[in-house]
Amino acid sequence: MFYNKSSEEVLKEFESSTDGLSEAQVTDHREKYGENKLQEKKKKSTLLVFAEQFKDLLVIILIVAALISIATGDVESTVVILAVITLNAILGTVQYVKAEKSLESLKKLSAPVAKVIRDGQQLEIPASELVVGDIIKLEAGDVVPSDGRLLEAYSLKINESALTGESEAVEKDPSVIDSEKVALGDQKNMVFSSSLVTYGRGLAVITAVGHDTELGKIADLISNTAERKTPLQVNMDNFSKKLSIIIILICVLVFGLSVYRGETIMDALLFAVALAVAAIPEALSSIITISLAIGTSRMAKENAIVKELKAVEGLGCVSIICSDKTGTLTQNKMTVEDVYCYPTNKQTLLISSIMCNDTAIVDGETFGDPTETAFVDYYMANNDDYTEMMATHPRIGELPFDSERKLMSTLHDMEGKITMFTKGAPDVLIERCGYFLDANGQVALLNEEEKEKIKQKNFDYSSGGLRVLAFAMKTYDALKELNFDDEKDLVFIGLEAEMDPPRVESAPAVADCIKAGIKPIMITGDHKVTASAIAKKIGILQDGDKAITGPELDEMDDETLAKELPHISVYARVSPDNKIRIVNAWQELGHIVAMTGDGVNDAPALKQADIGIAMGITGTEVSKDASAMILTDDNFATIIKSVLNGRNIYANIKNAIKFLLSGNAAGIFSVLYASLAGLPAPFAAVHLLFINLLTDSLPALAISMEPSNEELIKDKPRSRDESILTKAFVGEVGFQGILIAIATMAAFYIGYETSTEAAMTMAFSTLCLARLWHGFNSRGKQSIFKLGLTTNVYTIGAFFLGLILLSLVLFVPFLEEVFSVAVLSWAQIGWIALLAFLPTVVIQIKKIIVDHMENK
């Protein structure tokens, strides 16, 4: 609210508002003027979170089933059901307990103390006690304690990367009057809470504290930003509701038919409960969790740490990736891209760039301003005498850089010649040059033609997004003390152009991104020209695409933005509000959005995005806390690998669901047929529990471990609204379920010729074994011959382990009694083996035909 007011107006406003007040009233006024504590997000108790895990309709059905089992004395069923739902609730609670700590990290960023001038004295007070109107002193190494307007500044540079995401320090100038519409990183006369003073000193008047600071606004944005469910969560919620209704209707029908046939109400109720337990894929929640955990482990090996399991699957349907530029798409290291000078003068240019330079080298590592360290790295790449050169030509005088002059000069003894090297902004330095080094390395008069060539080259570099510095020199007959008048009549040497270059992997990763049907977007705090140049190089900004700035975005209403959105690929000089608006606009169009970031300013958008991705190397704790995933290599290419992993995990989960539902459908079809045909129940309740908890879980888990299929990257992202229960999916589940049910009831009829017990045992055994074979069918769309039998050894292991468990039940006397099975003849066992295998034969023949047709 103070951005359009001068420093004097701010002071007058505060002082006039306290006239005639007592000291206590002034204190109250200060507190009212700026509340200083960041609001903490209220967290639910762990017990409440645990209780909320039981809200799912399928879980409620299972709880009712457990209560009925208790009432009927079926202890085994009760224990099994309660164990499963309790395990799922614990897993859900653990995920919540690991949830974000964004606001706590924001509080840690607050400066602990502030140097404030009150009543003409300098005091050190807790930053939380600052109020609007206080005058603070800033020096190199200080953390800015609150937002303020500069009153004085001497060569002041402040690193605002935590707020803007850009690592380069900002030069501050109190004489510049900016409006609120100017992007955060361009506000030269303002300082912001949590920024670091890297150079110089200054005085500022506090204009905002607490929630009113830029940091406070970000904290409020994080608090007010709701997390979004991943598509899998949405799908599973809808799936659970539909499945619950279907199961309830089937159980009511079976209960009615059982009573109609003369069974007691208690027996009919017990069987209906057993059928409900068999029909509900209660292992599904665990299978999904394990599948996601396996995917998480795979991704960790590929430099992606996932904080929220469900985010793994969410990556698979991402259709928009909003990426930061610095460090993600680029190397986060300034590099000299080109030099402009006559070839004979290149060495002189390089020497001037390391002499007029404040870079320090400690243990072989460069420290200093990224622009200056780039000059040193470039010199060392072309020469091996840097240490000797600096030692034999020490600095004997200097004129430090300041933002008003935009120049820096240093004095050296160069082989007996006292030489001043000067660097600075090309437009300023060129006007101070009267001479230049010509093609022969001689000093010549700088004419207008030569000056225009230099200016044109500077324009070309700048238009290409490069940062350009000019270098000049001047020699003296004897040692002297430098003054600002010496910085004229200089001899122009040349230009050096720098940029933060793209990562080598960025362009191929962007190409893969587009191939996968995902639109990559660059959102950065950097300048529009620089951002556009990088975006063009790596393929984000293509023909017909636009680049706009944050202030330009603010000028658009929602309707205009929605229309322009598909054509905008680069957003530069953006604010935290801008980032949230961009993410939300794409979400409003039905897209799944991933957002990368590393600064505090990125945290609200990371939370708003469907998948927030923080940088592990350069990222702040706030951004990491707000994200669902952290890249340990800060590399955009890692995101594309994660997308493929996410798609594979979803495919595996969907295949596991298909396996579970088709097997459960076979059991339901068998029971319904027996009820309608007036036959005895084909299974005992304990049979259904064995099938559901053992022969279900093992193959389903193995299916979830199917290796990644590279072809999935060519698929288009699926819609957020795409249901698991599509017509094709339901039709396949029904077809496979009917095949297994036919085999099961055929076995029942064969056993029925001997006894009801033998019939139930054969039906139970056939259904078990058929479902174990069915695990191979459910690995993917292709036939087992195309997928390869041994490419997923877990399915083979699950089959044989299930077979062993079934054999133990059938042949161990103690277990025969526990699981209510009859002793079978070898002929009957042969029928079980044959009938159980037939559904797989039919399904595989169908898959082979489909494979053949697709290949054509």
Which token pair is 10? 């701010």
* Helix residue ranges, H only, 679-755: 685-690, 697-703, 727-752
The number of beta carbons lying within 10 Å of the beta carbon of residue 633 is 16
Q: Are 623 and 600 in contact (CB under 8 A)?
A: yes
DSSP 503: P
Pairing, β 433-437 against β 490-499: parallel
Point out which residues pair with 204 in neighbouring strands.
136, 150
Which token pair is 34? 């700026």
**Cβ neighbours for 704, distance < 8 A, ≥ 6 positions apart:** 287, 290, 291, 294, 649, 652, 653, 656
The number of beta carbons lying within 10 Å of the beta carbon of residue 94 is 12
The number of beta carbons lying within 10 Å of the beta carbon of residue 532 is 23
DSSP string over 348-360: HHHHHHHHS---E
d(CA 372, CA 364): 16
Cα 237–chain centre separation: 23
Which token pair is 321? 């990736």
Residue 827: exposure state from Cβ atoms within 10 A (0-12, 13-18, ≥19): exposed
Pairing, β 443-445 against β 121-126: unpaired
Nearest to 471 by CA among 416, 387, 409: 409
Strand boundaries in 269-416, DSSP class E = 304-306, 320-323, 335-340, 360-362, 365-367, 395-402, 407-414
Point out which residues pair with 336 in neighbouring strands.
498
The number of beta carbons lying within 10 Å of the beta carbon of residue 361 is 15
**Cβ neighbours for 555, distance < 8 A, ≥ 6 positions apart:** none
Nearest to 571 by CA among 774, 347, 322, 352: 322
Nearest to 100 by CA among 40, 28, 184: 40
d(CA 535, CA 542): 8
d(CA 228, CA 247): 29
DSSP 230: P
Tokens 């977007």 -> residue = 521
Angle at 801 between CA 799 and CA 805, to 5 degrees: 115
d(CA 631, CA 623): 12
d(CA 772, CA 163): 56
Active-site choice (324, 402, 610, 696): 324
3-class secondary structure, 123: strand
Q: Are 562 and 585 in contact (CB under 8 A)?
A: yes
Nearest to 461 by CA among 338, 325, 329: 338
Pairing, β 546-549 against β 568-572: parallel
Residue 324 annotated as catalytic: yes
For residue 112, the one-letter residue type is P
| Helices 265-279 and 231-260, packing angle to 10 deg | 160
Q: Report CA-CA distances (Å) from 490 to 403, 436, 448.
A: 20, 8, 15
* Helix residue ranges, H only, 316-416: 346-355, 370-382, 386-392
d(CA 250, CA 199): 75
3-class secondary structure, 790: coil
Point out which residues pair with 498 in neighbouring strands.
336, 467
User: Would you please indicate which residues are annotated as catalytic (active-site) residues?
Assistant: 324
